[in-house]
Amino acid sequence: MTIGAYDYPPFGFAENSQQTGYSLDILKEAVRRAGLSFSIEDFPVVRATELLHGTPNFIIAGTLTPEAVVRYGSSHWPFCFETASHALLVKADSPYNRLEDIPRSASIGAFLGYTLKKHFTELGYDLQLASENWQVAEMLVRGRVEAWATFESSAYYLMEAKNIPLNSVRSIPIKQFPFCAIASRGTNPEVLTRLRAAYLSMEADGTRKAIRSRYARFLGADNPYSAIPKLP
């Protein structure tokens, strides 16, 4: 298997010139338990998702949304391991408390690979896009955007890394989705079965919980969806 790594902390990030993160730790252990050899390759997030269409035995992690199911076509979702909370981050003194409070003329920032881009554009918002999620954090702090559309967990990780006080922002919840393993459409069905069984064994023996504990301060309460995905 080729495990795709991309920068989306705390799910994936570089540390001491090595790729690590919550998703990568989960995927490596699941692939290992499935009895498969693997390599890890670093891709920009947009390129990683493109590889799901044609590269056999390729696996990444991502959010299970209706948009993602359409985007990734006949790719496979062998298991889910986390709940992804999407939110709008606003400054602590912002007048906005709900999505409904934010006028369509407001400037909302997001990064290019953000899962809910289409959701916000369908609501009538004009997104300001950046190539990396941390760039949007700086856009918010500098007042270039009024809100930051992102994973809550990613936002808090990036703010800590950039020495931005966490109490300088507030979170407006938007949606929650399962966060899952995604395998390319050319992956052998037997491999998919082995991957799912491997992950279920990680849940049963506490390995998944132990891996999660390394990143818990960014993730919040542990309320995962079912490990068996239900496609929208």
Map out the domains of the chain as residue ranges. Answer: 2-83+177-219, 84-175
Q: What is the CATH number of domain 84-175?
A: 3.40.190.10
Average pLDDT over residues 187-208: 97
Average pLDDT over residues 159-176: 90
Same fold: 2-83+177-219 with 84-175? yes
> Which pair of tokens denotes residue 78?
């062998």
CA 80 to chain centre: 12
Average pLDDT over residues 102-128: 91
Q: What is the pTM of this model?
A: 0.79
For residue 14, what are the β-bridge partners?
19
pLDDT at 59: 96
Q: Cα-flanking dihedrals φ and ψ of residue 107, to 5°?
A: -90, 120
Judging by DSSP bridges, how do beta strands 2-5 and 39-42 pair with one another?
Answer: parallel
Q: What is the CATH number of domain 2-83+177-219?
A: 3.40.190.10
Average pLDDT over residues 83-112: 94
How many other CB atoms are found less than 10 A from the CB of residue 35? 9
Q: Looking at 41-50, 87-96, 107-116, which range is the least confident one?
A: 41-50
